[in-house]
Chains A and B, each alone.
Chain A
Amino acid sequence: MSAAGGVTAKVIRYALRDVVRSRWLVGYALFFLAATDALLRFGGGGSSALLSLMNVVLLLVPLVGTVFGTMYLYDAREFTELLLAQPVRRDQLYVGLYVGLALPLSGGFVAGLVAPFLVHGVDDPAQWRLLAALALTGVALTCVFVGLAFLIAVRSEDKARGLGAAVGVWLLFSLLYDGLVLLAVLLLDDYPLERPLLGLMLANPVDLARVVLLLQFDVSALMGYTGAVFERFFGGAGGLAVAATALAAWVAAPVLLGMRAFRRRDF
Chain B
Amino acid sequence: MIEVVGLVKRYGRTPVLRGVDLRVRRGRVTAIVGPNGAGKTTLIKAILGLARPDGGRIAVDGVPLDGGVDYRARIGYMPQIARFPENLSGAELLALLADLRRGGGSGAVAPDEELVERFRLRAQLDQPLRTLSGGTRQKVNAVMAFLFHPDLLFLDEPTAGLDPVASSILKDKVLAERAGGRTFVLTSHIMSELEELADDVAFMLDGRVRFCGPLEELKRATRQANLERAIAQMMTQEAA
* Any B CB within 8 A of the CB of A261: no
Contact in complex: B77, A266 (CB < 8 Å) = no
Residue from the list A18, A77, A87, A266 in contact with B100, Cβ < 8 A: A87
Whether A85 touches B50, Cβ cut-off 8 Å, given contacts A10-B100, A266-B11, is yes
Please classify how large the interface on chain B is, using the bins under 10, 10 to 19, 20 to 34, 35 or more.
35 or more
Encode B11-55 as 1/0 by CB contact (under 8 A) with A: 100000000000000000000000000000000010011111000
Interface residues of A in 68-127 (CB under 8 A from B): 75-79, 81-89
Closest A residue to B70 by beta carbon equals A87
* Any A CB within 8 A of the CB of B84: yes
Q: Residue among A10, A11, A19 with the most chain B CB within 10 A?
A: A10
Closest B residue to A93 by beta carbon equals B100
Contact in complex: B50, A267 (CB < 8 Å) = yes
Looking at the assembled complex, report how far the CB atom of A131 sits from the nearest CB atom of chain B, in whole angstroms: 31
Residue from the list B9, B79, B96, B128 in contact with A85, Cβ < 8 A: B79
* Any A CB within 8 A of the CB of B73: yes
Contact in complex: A21, B72 (CB < 8 Å) = no
* Any B CB within 8 A of the CB of A186: no
* Any A CB within 8 A of the CB of B180: no
Chain B residues closer than 8 Å to A18, beta-carbon distance: 85-88
CA distance A266 to B51 in the complex (A): 4
Contact in complex: A87, B101 (CB < 8 Å) = yes
CA distance A264 to B79 in the complex (A): 21
Contact in complex: B50, A10 (CB < 8 Å) = no
Residue from the list B93, B100, B128 in contact with A7, Cβ < 8 A: B100
Contact in complex: A82, B70 (CB < 8 Å) = no
Residue from the list B11, B72, B83 in contact with A87, Cβ < 8 A: B72
Chain B residues closer than 8 Å to A87, beta-carbon distance: 69-73, 100-101, 103-104
* Any A CB within 8 A of the CB of B82: yes
Chain A residues closer than 8 Å to B9, beta-carbon distance: 266
Looking at the assembled complex, report how far the CB atom of B121 sits from the nearest CB atom of chain A, in whole angstroms: 17
Chain B residues closer than 8 Å to A76, beta-carbon distance: 85
* Any A CB within 8 A of the CB of B232: no
Encode A235-259 as 1/0 by CB contact (under 8 A) with B: 0000000000000000000000000
Contact in complex: B84, A79 (CB < 8 Å) = yes
Contact in complex: B103, A14 (CB < 8 Å) = no
Whether A6 touches B103, Cβ cut-off 8 Å, given contacts A82-B144, A86-B72, A87-B70, is yes
Contact in complex: B100, A88 (CB < 8 Å) = yes
Q: Tell me the total A-B contact number using a CB cutoff of 8 A.
A: 87
* Any B CB within 8 A of the CB of A22: yes
Closest A residue to B42 by beta carbon equals A266
Encode A33-63 as 1/0 by CB contact (under 8 A) with B: 0000000000000000000000000000000
Contact in complex: B100, A267 (CB < 8 Å) = no
Chain B residues closer than 8 Å to A15, beta-carbon distance: 85
Looking at the assembled complex, report how far the CB atom of B68 sits from the nearest CB atom of chain A, in whole angstroms: 9
Chain A residues closer than 8 Å to B92, beta-carbon distance: 14, 17
Looking at the assembled complex, report how far the CB atom of A96 sits from the nearest CB atom of chain B, in whole angstroms: 10
Looking at the assembled complex, report how far the CB atom of B109 sits from the nearest CB atom of chain A, in whole angstroms: 15
Closest A residue to B76 by beta carbon equals A85
Contact in complex: B84, A78 (CB < 8 Å) = yes
Contact in complex: B103, A78 (CB < 8 Å) = no
Chain B residues closer than 8 Å to A19, beta-carbon distance: 87
* Any A CB within 8 A of the CB of B99: yes
Whether A84 touches B50, Cβ cut-off 8 Å, given contacts A3-B103, A267-B45, is yes
CA distance A76 to B92 in the complex (A): 16
CA distance A82 to B77 in the complex (A): 8
Chain B residues closer than 8 Å to A10, beta-carbon distance: 96, 99-100
Chain B residues closer than 8 Å to A82, beta-carbon distance: 77, 79, 84, 144
Q: Residue among A21, A83, A87 with the most chain B CB within 10 A?
A: A87
* Any A CB within 8 A of the CB of B5: no
CA distance A3 to B102 in the complex (A): 10
Looking at the assembled complex, report how far the CB atom of B159 sits from the nearest CB atom of chain A, in whole angstroms: 18
Contact in complex: B79, A81 (CB < 8 Å) = yes
CA distance A8 to B62 in the complex (A): 30
Chain A residues closer than 8 Å to B96, beta-carbon distance: 10-11, 14
CA distance A265 to B11 in the complex (A): 10
Residue from the list B69, B77, B81, B84 in contact with A88, Cβ < 8 A: B69
Q: A84-B48, A266-B9 are in contact. List 20 more A-B contacts (CB 8 A).
A: A3-B103, A6-B103, A10-B99, A10-B100, A11-B100, A18-B87, A21-B87, A78-B82, A78-B84, A79-B84, A81-B50, A81-B79, A82-B84, A84-B50, A85-B50, A87-B69, A87-B70, A87-B72, A266-B52, A267-B50
Between A and B, 7 residue pairs with Cβ closer than 8 Å are A18-B85, A78-B79, A78-B81, A79-B85, A88-B72, A266-B11, A267-B50
